[in-house]
């Protein structure tokens, strides 16, 4: 059997299939059938036991460090777990009412909170937080959010099959064990795809429900470059071909030096794959305009970690166009401290020389990047809910901590600050005012920072795109995040494979919006960068050049091929020709017409395979 999906992270993966039941799926039914009651009780007790162990371990290490006050807080949580009221009531609900563990736990917590309200004292408020904390810990244990993934080990490599994967699950994957990822849903631009690319794990998304029919333990061959998944490849392809594939696999098993996560043993790094496809580009050529003159256009890299910053440098990026800081916050139960963040930001900016731009975006969680530690309630439509700057403005404590860390790091290089998900002028002004307050506090404390730091706005909400002229007046630069801008403009989820035609960067409406943003910013003399995956869409490159986009920011894997294309385009066509093309497509009817236009006018682009 062979399934076709959408290639999301290049490379070959060969291993045993393993279905991963997504944590979000298990929490659907609030009740269980009678036959499962005793098993459910065991599951619940195990989750409580795990929570007790975890808290005891935290408490022990706190005591060791002499942090007795914090240890006492953990002690409170420990006795809460031993209290009949919470755990006992939850067990009763499973036993007598056949509640599922998570529902029983929620109900028991509600009861306890109700009792607290009846006997209300101001001191109880902080206790409620302890209660929520332990309940969430048990809930996480029940969902197996961490254990399932952390427990994956063994001598054989695995290809994970799952419906979808949350980013916080994805960051916990061990690339030594997980050779590949195959998803029923998902799209190339989903964050899971971004994470798997950065970890170098071959990934195919949108394989459809047929994926369910594959049994655990079957050998599968996943090709993240072509998007195919072959079950029992010996039967379908013939032994010779499997051997050849396996041979190709062995050849590419080169240990990577620059990435922390992947050690020898992963099938193929995406960077390798990208280079192979375009016939090894030894050095990233400068982007040049007519007459070989430097156009001033820059090719930067999108990163999520210090390791990726080092890779960006070795791959020849002119800087960092987008540092996604949310990955510092994910896969953990607490928030990173100012010192921890400062150390990371400083390390990233110190990777480059003092003039190289490093654009740091404040935490952009929410949407498809939920954060366990924030404990936000679930929303019907998370992409239209609390995410990005909206959360930062609600949790200003977190924002201020992050801003202090970023500003302190700005003393060590050319850091620029970027705010995500701005939708109104008010949000932007509020964010900027908070920056000013944090700056003033740093000045008072005598802590050095770059006082003239550039502050930019992410244009990803259509309202911000329509207000680009107003925003550009006040900001130092704009950065277009096309992944979200496209899905919000076209009202088509980027995670829905069947809507790929709508979620297309070449949709004339999207191109018009981007054109308008660039023009508005330039009319105020402000530069515009584009850091969505559109910047590595080959057919979009001549159009973006023609619109006058100043900075392209792409993943490390795409740096070489995009750099090669940009310099090819700039050498063959002068800016007037490119501008003409960019303006011509704005009046076309469909994305397919735009694609055809680009193919006709820029045939050289066709020689190169597009890397996702």
**Residues labelled catalytic:** 191, 531
Nearer to other proteins, 109 or 171 (CB): 109
Smallest gap from residue 322 Cβ to other proteins (A): 44
CA angle centred on 199, ends 197 and 204, rounded to 5°: 40
Q: Which long-range contacts (CB under 8 A, 24 or more apart) does 112-119 make?
A: 112/85, 112/86, 115/85
Nearer to other proteins, 78 or 343 (CB): 78
- Residues near 589 by beta carbon (within 8 Å), at least 6 away in sequence: 508
Nearer to other proteins, 113 or 384 (CB): 113
Q: What whole-number distance in Å separates Cα of residue 159 and Cα of residue 40?
A: 29
Nearer to other proteins, 16 or 136 (CB): 136
DSSP state of 294: B
Q: Which residues, in sequence order, are bridge partners of residue 458?
A: 479
Nearer to other proteins, 117 or 429 (CB): 117
CA angle centred on 465, ends 462 and 468, rounded to 5°: 155
Nearer to other proteins, 112 or 201 (CB): 112
Alpha helices for 322-424 (secondary structure H): 326-329, 338-350, 389-394, 396-409
Q: What whole-number distance in Å separates Cα of residue 270 and Cα of residue 252?
A: 11
Retrieve residue 287's tokens: 């982007």
Nearer to other proteins, 93 or 404 (CB): 93
Order of all β-strands in the sheet with 2-4:
2-4, 228-231, 219-223, 12-19, 158-162, 178-183, 203-205, 6-9
Retrieve residue 16's tokens: 């045993």
Smallest gap from residue 65 Cβ to other proteins (A): 19
Smallest gap from residue 138 Cβ to other proteins (A): 16
Nearer to other proteins, 106 or 368 (CB): 106
- Residues near 607 by beta carbon (within 8 Å), at least 6 away in sequence: none
Smallest gap from residue 58 Cβ to other proteins (A): 14
Q: What whole-number distance in Å separates Cα of residue 343 and Cα of residue 449?
A: 14
DSSP state letters, 471-501: HHHHSSEEEE-HHHHHHHHHT--TT-GGGTT
Tokens 């004292």 correspond to what residue? Answer: 121
Nearer to other proteins, 119 or 293 (CB): 119
Smallest gap from residue 468 Cβ to other proteins (A): 51
Smallest gap from residue 105 Cβ to other proteins (A): 16
The candidate with the shortest Cα–Cα distance to 533, out of 475, 476, 492, 481, is 481
Tell me which residues touch other proteins (CB under 8 A).
72, 75-76, 78-80, 82-86, 112, 115-116, 118-119, 121, 123-124, 127-128, 131
Q: Which residues, in sequence order, are bridge partners of residue 230?
A: 2, 221
Nearer to other proteins, 123 or 600 (CB): 123
Smallest gap from residue 48 Cβ to other proteins (A): 15
CA angle centred on 399, ends 528 and 339, rounded to 5°: 105
Judge whether 4 and 227 are in contact, CB under 8 Å.
Answer: yes
DSSP state of 57: H
Sign of CA dihedral 63, 64, 66, 67: negative
Nearer to other proteins, 118 or 381 (CB): 118
Nearer to other proteins, 128 or 249 (CB): 128
Q: What whole-number distance in Å separates Cα of residue 267 and Cα of residue 249?
A: 6
Label residues 365-389 b or e (16+ Cβ within 10 Å = b): bbbbbbbbbbebeeeeeeeeebbbb
For residue 161, the surrounding DSSP H or E stretch is strand 158-162
Judge whether 350 and 410 are in contact, CB under 8 Å.
Answer: no
Judge whether 309 and 351 are in contact, CB under 8 Å.
Answer: yes
Smallest gap from residue 111 Cβ to other proteins (A): 10
Smallest gap from residue 85 Cβ to other proteins (A): 6
Judge whether 9 and 227 are in contact, CB under 8 Å.
Answer: no
R_g of the chain, CA atoms, integer Å: 26
Q: What whole-number distance in Å separates Cα of residue 538 and Cα of residue 470?
A: 31
Smallest gap from residue 130 Cβ to other proteins (A): 8
Smallest gap from residue 78 Cβ to other proteins (A): 7
Q: What whole-number distance in Å separates Cα of residue 453 and Cα of residue 400?
A: 16
């Amino acid at each position: 059997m062979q399934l076709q999906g959408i290639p999301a992270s290049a490379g070959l993966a060969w291993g045993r299939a393993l279905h991963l039941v997504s944590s979000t799926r298990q929490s659907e039914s609030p009740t269980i059938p009678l036959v499962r009651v005793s098993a459910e009780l065991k599951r619940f007790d195990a989750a409580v036991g795990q929570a007790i162990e975890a808290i005891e371990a935290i408490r022990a290490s706190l005591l060791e460090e002499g942090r007795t006050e914090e240890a006492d807080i953990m002690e409170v949580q420990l006795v809460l777990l031993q209290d009949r009221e919470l755990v006992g009531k939850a067990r009763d609900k499973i036993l007598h009412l056949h509640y599922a563990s998570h529902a029983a736990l929620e109900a028991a917590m509600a009861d306890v909170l109700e009792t607290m309200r009846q006997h209300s004292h101001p001191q109880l408020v902080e206790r409620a937080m302890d209660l929520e904390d332990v309940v969430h810990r048990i809930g996480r244990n029940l969902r197996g959010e961490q254990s399932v993934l952390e427990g994956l080990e063994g001598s054989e490599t695995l290809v994970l099959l799952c419906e979808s994967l949350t980013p916080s699950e994805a960051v916990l994957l061990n690339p030594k064990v997980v050779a590949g990822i195959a998803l029923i849903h998902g799209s190339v631009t989903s964050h899971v795809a971004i994470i798997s690319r950065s970890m170098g794990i071959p990934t195919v998304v949108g394989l459809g429900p047929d994926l369910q029919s594959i049994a655990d333990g079957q050998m599968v061959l996943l090709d993240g470059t072509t998007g195919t998944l072959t079950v029992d490849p010996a039967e379908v392809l013939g032994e010779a071909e499997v051997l050849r594939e396996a041979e190709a696999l062995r050849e590419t098993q080169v240990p990577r030096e620059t990435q922390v996560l992947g050690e020898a043993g992963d099938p193929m790094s995406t960077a390798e794959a990208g280079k192979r496809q375009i016939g090894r580009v030894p050095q990233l050529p400068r982007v040049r305009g007519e007459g070989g003159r430097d156009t001033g256009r820059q090719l930067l890299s999108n990163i999520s970690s210090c390791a990726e910053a080092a890779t960006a440098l070795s791959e020849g990026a002119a800087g960092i166009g987008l540092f996604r800081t949310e990955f510092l916050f994910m896969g953990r139960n607490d928030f990173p401290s100012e010192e921890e963040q400062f150390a990371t930001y400083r390390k990233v900016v110190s990777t480059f020389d003092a003039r190289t731009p490093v654009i740091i975006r404040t935490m952009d969680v929410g949407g498809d990047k939920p954060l366990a530690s924030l404990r936000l309630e679930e929303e019907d439509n998370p992409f239209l809910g609390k995410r990005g700057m909206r959360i930062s403005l609600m949790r200003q404590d977190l924002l201020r901590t992050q801003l202090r860390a970023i500003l302190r790091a700005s003393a060590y290089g050319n850091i620029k600050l970027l705010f995500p998900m701005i939708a109104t002028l008010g949000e932007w002004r509020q964010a900027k005012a908070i920056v000013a307050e944090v700056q003033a506090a740093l000045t008072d404390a005598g802590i050095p920072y770059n006082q003239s730091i550039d502050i930019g706005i992410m244009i990803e909400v259509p309202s911000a795109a329509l207000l680009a002229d107003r925003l550009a007046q006040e900001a130092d630069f704009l950065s277009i995040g096309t992944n979200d801008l496209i899905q919000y403009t076209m009202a088509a989820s980027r995670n829905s494979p069947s809507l790929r035609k709508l979620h297309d960067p070449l949709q004339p409406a999207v191109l018009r919006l981007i054109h308008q943003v660039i023009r508005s910013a330039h009319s105020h003399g402000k530069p515009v960068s584009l850091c969505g995956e559109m910047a590595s869409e080959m057919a979009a490159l001549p159009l973006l050049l023609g619109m006058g986009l100043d900075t392209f920011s792409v993943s490390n894997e795409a740096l070489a091929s995009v750099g090669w294309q940009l310099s090819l385009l700039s050498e063959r066509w002068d800016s007037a020709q490119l501008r003409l093309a960019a303006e011509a497509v704005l009046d076309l009817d469909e994305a397919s017409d735009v694609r055809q236009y680009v193919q006709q006018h820029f045939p050289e682009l066709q020689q190169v395979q597009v890397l996702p």
